[in-house]
Amino acid sequence: MNSQNKIWKWDSNWGGKNNTSHYEFMKDEGIVIGIDRFKYSAGGFVIITNGFTAKAITIIKEKPKAITENPAYSFVKNEYRIEFKDWVNYAEAEWYELPESETFEYKVQRGVSKVNQYDVKEKILKLWNDRKK
């Protein structure tokens, strides 16, 4: 895996479990939402979780841009409690929603984190590569 293909985790419950999940919004739009310190880039992978459950694997297709560049997304502040600020970004992504039999627990407390565990990285890459079978 080259440095461009880092794997990140993103929890679809902005601000914790008491907030509304923006999973379906991201999936329907074909995007991943992130923040400036979440250094994902084109060609990198992001697993999308809902709490500790990995629900989808995405690959980023473009350089992330500030969410404020798309005024149509301003509703996310009220609907999902996602800040509509320049430090929040989004990028187009190819999605693979995991079938129920392939979802898995990834027990990392932080909503945004780099995936460092070798076995988890291998699992994600295998699921991605096998997705069309």
pLDDT at 17: 56
Residues 6+ apart with CB under 8 A from 34: 8, 10, 40, 46, 64, 88, 89, 90, 91, 112
Query: Alpha-carbon distance 24 to 2, whole Å?
Result: 30
The pLDDT value given to residue 3: 40
First to last CA, the chain: 22
Instruction: Give DSSP secondary structure letters for 7-27.
Output: EEEEESSTTSTTSPP-HHHHH
Low-confidence ranges of the chain (pLDDT < 50): 1-4
The CA-atom distances, in angstroms, between 60 and each of 2, 29, 67, 100, 110 are 15, 13, 16, 23, 21
Q: Which 3 state secondary structure label does DSSP give 110?
A: coil
| CATH 3.40.190.10 assigned to 3-129 | no
Question: What's the pLDDT at 86?
Answer: 95
- Return the domain boundaries, the chain: 3-129
Confidence at residue 64, expressed as pLDDT on a 0 to 100 scale: 94
Q: What is the pLDDT of residue 2?
A: 44
From CA 38, how far away is CA 64, in angstroms rounded? 10
Phi and psi (nearest 5°) for 53?
Answer: -90, 120
